[in-house]
A and B are shown apart, each in its own frame.
Chain A
C-alpha cells in the first residue's frame, strides 16, 4: 500500500515534469481490450508484441508523428488518412521529396488479417513493414535509427516505451508499437455487417440488397476473391489491367514470371472511401472499376481465370454501387483513444 502510494506520487511527479504537452496518455496500464465486430475472426496477435494500452497508445502517437520523416513534413497518416479508412486520395502518394511513390497507398483496415503486407505481399509481418515507408526514399526517406534518436528526447515516448516494451525508444520499439496500433484498425461496423452478421434485414435498402445479390451471383463472380469477413481472400490475382505491367507485382517477390501483374486482392470494406483504385490508383471511380471487371480485362497471359465478362443495366449498376457504399463503416475503425 505504502509502495503503491510512493509509486503514485512518483509517477505524478514525473508527469508534472513532462516537457512535451503534445502527447499525454493517462490510461496506459494493462492490456488493450480491442472490440471486435460480430463476425470478425479472432485477431492474430504475435505473442512477442501483445496489444497493451501502452503499446497501442505509443504506436498511435508515432503513426501521426512527422518526425518519422527526413524533413519532418510527413507521418504515416499523411498517406493513410483517418477519414479515408486509412487510405490516400492520391493515385500515388507523394513522398518528402515531392516525388510519387511506387503504388497506391491501401487502406489499413483489417490489415491485421493479411498474411503478407503490401500489395505484393512481400513483407511477412506488420512489424517488418514499418521499416519500409520510413526508409524508402520515395516516402519518408529517413533512417529509422535517426528517427528514433530524435524521438527519444520526448519523455512521454520514453515512458510509454518503457511501459510497453521495457526499453528506451529505439527502432525496435517504433516498429513494434506502430504495428500494434495498426493491428487494432478493425473494420466491421458497416450496415452490411449489421445485415449479414446481426440479422438486421432492414439495415440494407432494397437497392443495396439487390446489389448484394448481384455481387454474389455467378455472373459477376466477385466473391471468387472478395469473400470472407474482410471481403478479400488475400490471394494474388492479375486482373488484366494492362497487357504489359510497369510494376511486376507479386513477381517482384517470387521472381516467378507467372506472378507478373498479380497483386493482393484488396478488401472492399470502406471501398467508397478508398479511391482511387487498383495498385497504381489508375481508376478514379467505382464506375470505372465496374467497367473494367465487366469487360473481363485485357488478355495478359497471367490474367485470372476467375474473371468473367458481364453486362449491367442502369438499375443493376446503381444497385451494385449502392451495395458497395453500404460497406462503409458507421463508426471509426480507430479504437485507440
Chain B
C-alpha cells in the first residue's frame, strides 16, 4: 500500500510536469516586446467629472467643504497587459499634482498593443526597503523630493494634504487641516486599470495614456466614507493603518484610464 503510494507520488512529481511541458510547447509563445517605446502618462484630476483645481473649495460626499493643497503619489511596478500577457513597463513613477495634474514620460517601455495596465499604488517593497541615498536628483526616489520618511526608512506612497470645514454651508475660510500620508509596505496595493481603447506603443512615436483621477472619490468608495471629522490624519504610526488603508482603497478606485 505504502509502495503504491510512493509510485503514485513519483508519477505526480516526474511524469505530470513532462506532460504539462509538452502541452505548453504546443502553444504559441507571444514575441518578446521590444523596449523601445515612449509613453507620455498624463494624470488628469477631476472632481465630480469636472476638471479639478488645487486650492479650490469643493463639497465632498459628506457635504464638508474641502480644499486640497497637495496631492502626490507613487505608482510602482507598472505592467502593460494584453490577453494574459504582462510586460514590465516602469519600476516606479512619481506624480505631483501641484499644477492641477502632472505629465511624466516613460522611456524604453515595451512595444505592442495593450488592453490594460497593472500597477501598484506606492513604491514596491524592494525599492522601498533599499538605500535611498543612491538615487540621483531627478529620479523619482531621490531624497530631494522630500517623500522619504526618514524615521521609518521608507517612502510615503500617497501624500494628500489640505483643509476642510464640517459646515458645508459655511462661507468663511476653510481652516481645519487634514494630512493623510500612506507609506508602509502593507499599504502597497496592486490594481488593474482596463483601458477604454487599446494602447498602441511603437518604437517610432510617443504614445499617450491619460489616467483620470477622481479626487472626489478619495472620500468614498464601495459605500464606505472617509469622514474628515474623525479621519483626517495618518502618518504611518497607526498600527492598524485604518485611515491609510481606507484612503489607499479610495485612491485605487478613483483611477480610470482613457
Contacts and interface: CB of A to CB of B under 8 A. Distances in A.
Contacts of B142: 145
10 contacts: A123-B150, A128-B133, A143-B144, A143-B146, A145-B144, A146-B144, A251-B237, A251-B239, A255-B237, A255-B241
A122 B237 contact: no
Contacts of A120: 151
Contacts of B132: 131
Contact of B152 (A122, A171, A248, A257): A122
A144 B239 CA distance: 30
Contacts of B238: 255
Interface string B71-85: 000000000000000
Given A124-B153, A251-B239, A252-B151, A135 B133 contact: no
Best-surrounded residue of A118, A123, A143, A255 (most CB of chain B within 10 A): A255
Nearest to B152: A122
B137 interface: yes
A143 B143 contact: yes
A171 B237 contact: no
Interface in B103-162: 131-134, 137, 142-144, 146, 148, 150-153
Nearest to A130: B133
Best-surrounded residue of B132, B146, B150, B238 (most CB of chain A within 10 A): B150
Contacts of A143: 143-144, 146
Given A171-B133, A172-B133, A132 B150 contact: yes
B143 A136 contact: no
Contact of A255 (B131, B143, B146, B239): B239
A238 B113 CA distance: 58
Contacts of B153: 122-124, 128
Contacts of A256: 239
Nearest to A247: B237
A175 interface: yes
Contacts of A175: 133
A128 B131 contact: yes
Nearest to B186: A255
A127 B143 CA distance: 14
Interface size class of A (residues with CB under 8 A): 20 to 34
B239 A145 contact: no
Interface string A252-263: 110111000000
Nearest to B237: A252
A218 B9 CA distance: 60
Given A145-B142, A252-B237, A255-B238, A118 B133 contact: no
A118 B144 contact: no
A256 B133 CA distance: 28
A135 B239 contact: no
A145 B148 CA distance: 13
A132 B151 contact: yes
A127 B133 CA distance: 9
A253 B236 CA distance: 9
A333 B143 CA distance: 32
B148 to A, nearest CB: 7
B241 to A, nearest CB: 8
A119 to B, nearest CB: 11
A188 B174 CA distance: 57
A38 B174 CA distance: 63
Contact of B150 (A136, A171, A248, A252): A136
A256 to B, nearest CB: 6
A144 B237 contact: no
A52 B175 CA distance: 53
Contacts of B146: 135, 143
Interface string B52-72: 000000000000000000000
Interface in A254-289: 255-257
Interface string A97-132: 000000000000000000000101011100110011
Contact of A122 (B133, B144, B151): B151
A131 B151 contact: no
Shortest Cβ-Cβ A-B pairs, 7 listed: A132-B150, A145-B144, A255-B239, A172-B133, A252-B237, A131-B150, A143-B144
A131 B133 contact: yes
Contact of A171 (B143, B184, B239): B143
A334 B202 CA distance: 61
Contacts of B241: 255
A144 B134 CA distance: 12
A143 B137 CA distance: 11
Nearest to B132: A131
Contacts of A131: 132-133, 143, 148, 150
Given A128-B133, A143-B146, A252-B151, 17 more contacts: A120-B151, A122-B152, A122-B153, A127-B131, A128-B131, A128-B153, A131-B143, A131-B148, A136-B150, A144-B133, A144-B144, A145-B143, A172-B134, A251-B239, A255-B184, A255-B238, A255-B239
A135 B237 CA distance: 19
Given A252-B237, A257-B239, A145 B151 contact: no
Best-surrounded residue of A127, A143, A146 (most CB of chain B within 10 A): A143
B181 to A, nearest CB: 14
Contacts of A255: 184, 237-239, 241
A1 B118 CA distance: 63
A123 B184 CA distance: 14
A36 to B, nearest CB: 28
